[in-house]
Structure formats: C-alpha cells, structure tokens
Amino acid sequence: MKRIGAVVIAVGLVLGAVVIRDRIEGDDAGPAPSTRGVRLVCATQLAEVCAGLRSDDLEVVVEPAGRTADALAEVAEGDDPGLDLWLVDAAWPAVVEDNRRYADLGGEVLGGTSEVLARSPVVLMVSPGLVPVLEQRCGEVDWTCVGDTATRQQAVGIASPDRGGLPVLASAVAGRLGTTDYAVGDFEDPDFSAWFDRIATSGTRDLGRQTPLERGVAAPGYFAVVGTLEHEVVSLPRSRRRYEPIYPEPVVTSDIVLAAVDGTAEAGLDRLGGAERVRSLLAGAGWRVEGQPLPDGADADLALPERSNLPAAGVLQRLRELWGA
C-alpha cells in the first residue's frame, strides 16, 4: 500500500503576539524551529478556534491535517517533529501511528490524546430544487443516490480528505456500503469503484482557499450537493438559503482532540489555558461541546452516536489514496 509523504513550506502571518502560519505546498523547507515556546499545529478547519488561543508564548501553525500527518509519519525516532501540540480530528493521530508501523519507523511520535473536546456530524447540503428530483428517483436522498446521479452538471462538492473532508468521505462510503464497519477489501467491487469515481470527480477540486460550501454559497449552481460538517453550516448561515441540510445515515462525526508530543494531553490543554477555554472556543465556532448550549442552527433532534463511526486508520489511509488517485 502506498503511503504518501508531504513536503511543505511555511507562509508567515503575524496576528498580534501570535504567529499563525498556513503551510502550502511547493518548498523543500520544513517547519522553522520555534523560538517562542509552545508550538501548536491546528487542522485547517480549526483556524478560527486557534486564532482565539493567542498568547505571548504560543506559536500557532494552521495547515491541512493530512500534511501534518504525513510529516509526522516520516519523523525518525528521536528527531524533533516540529510541534508540541496538535488540535485535530481524532482519526489523524491514529493514521500517523498506523503509517509509522507500516513503514517500520519504530516508536510512536505522538504521546497521548485528550478526551473528545467537541464533535460535529456530517451534513449533506442539497439544492432545494434537486431534493424532490432525487426523492422521486431514489426514494430518499442519501449518499448512494447522490453518487449514482452525480455528473458535471450535478456536481458534488467534498473537501479533500487532507483538508477537513476525511469524515465526510468516510460518511459517504458508509452510506454507500450500508455500514460503518467496512474494510479495504470492500473498495474492490466494480460498482463501488464507479460510484466513488462519480463522487470524487464530478466537482472541481481546485477552489483556492474556499471550502466547497463557501464556493457553493458564493456561486449558485456551482455544486448541486455539498458534503460538509455541521459546524461549517451553522457558521455560514447563508448556506441554508442556498441548500437544504440533510443528515445522512449512518451518522458519522468529526471528533476533535488535542494530541501531545511530550507529556500528557491534559498538560497540553493546561498550556493552552485549560480544557474549558478550548471547549468554549470550539463551541463558539459551531462545534457541539458537551455541557455547552447547542449551536444555533444545529439539529436538536439529531442524536450523535457514542463514537465517530469512522473506520480503522488503515482504511482511512486507503480512502486518502483512492481520492488522490
């Protein structure tokens, strides 16, 4: 199985006392060594949260989770991984360690991860005029129907798995296969492959810094369907005027954790001002946080599963590779 490495550059952006850098592809230089204390890397979809964590001794790097994961998967045992803390979907630390075991790179590069800090379920955003069409054709609007009917004229927008779209893609596959307990071997079926190709290629991938939902709202008709997370929907209220939200079955969630390189994740949260501070910022960005009010616009009737319903790390890695292919 092919394991993907990433090479990155860092582009600096100073926000008060915090440096927030969004790494982009195209340079052989790795992350610059930190001279400002704690180095926190945040997944792209958590940029707003991490901007709120500013402090004099914190350096924040915002980059796609897949890029961080690929870099960590290649770190030699004992080398500096270039970060101290990682705020990210809980699936990614597992992908890192699974890839390191596959490459026989020795010990774990990450220490412990925190308990789940916040959650957000996958949502299908469907053009209102398309909903009755799909219902008539398929009986219900679900991922199977969306993939079976996807064309260039009826395009589906999903963010790259590396840029926040991994739980969305996993949700699509679970909907198509009818189970969250699927394996790599399930991807070999020709009917599945044809469906996956339609999901993955009907829409334009190069959106610059926009997410598919942002592009769909800004350019009506660009995407007929967008798969995203609820936190983005509630953070972009205009999206409900362009699309009708549908929560697909089985429910799949993105669960956010903090991973630490050295020490415990709990100590890492303390270095960020405490778990409650981080949870409060996540809630303010539209994530569901236990003990906090439900975000405005979230579906109060939707019961989240006990776990994320994502498959094993090796299966997620294979989904990344299929998407890249």
Residue 107 confidence class, pLDDT cut points 50, 70, 90: confident
- Domains of the chain in sequence order: 8-118+254-284 (3.40.190), 121-252+320-324 (3.40.190)
146: closest CA among 161, 127, 165, 164? 127
Structure confidence at residue 32 (pLDDT): 45
For residues 251 and 122, the answer to whether their CB atoms sit within 8 Å is yes
What's the pTM value of the predicted model, to 2 decimals?
A: 0.88
276: tokens are 């409650």
For residues 200 and 323, the answer to whether their CB atoms sit within 8 Å is yes
How many angstroms separate the CA atoms of 63 and 47, rounded?
9
Reduce the DSSP state of residue 68 to 3 states and report it.
helix
90: closest CA among 280, 258, 232? 258
Helices (H), 178-264: 190-201, 212-218, 230-235, 239-242
307: number of Cβ within 10 Å? 12
What would you report as the CA-atom Rg of the chain, rounded to the nearest whole angstrom? 19
Could you list the beta-strand ranges (E) of 175-299. Answer: 225-229, 244-246, 253-260
Return the HEC string of 115-132.
CCCEEEEEEEEECCCHHH
283: number of Cβ within 10 Å? 21
Structure confidence at residue 81 (pLDDT): 93
> Cα angle at 14 between 13 and 15, to 5 degrees?
115
108: number of Cβ within 10 Å? 15
pLDDT more than 90, % of the chain: 80
Q: What is the pLDDT of residues 44-99, one digit of tens each?
A: 999 999 999 988 899 999 999 999 999 999 998 888 999 999 999 999 999 999 99
For residues 93 and 259, the answer to whether their CB atoms sit within 8 Å is yes
Q: What is the pLDDT of residues 216-250, one digit of tens each?
A: 999 999 999 999 999 999 999 999 999 999 999 99
Structure confidence at residue 53 (pLDDT): 95
Structure confidence at residue 138 (pLDDT): 96
DSSP state of 82: S
Structure confidence at residue 263 (pLDDT): 86
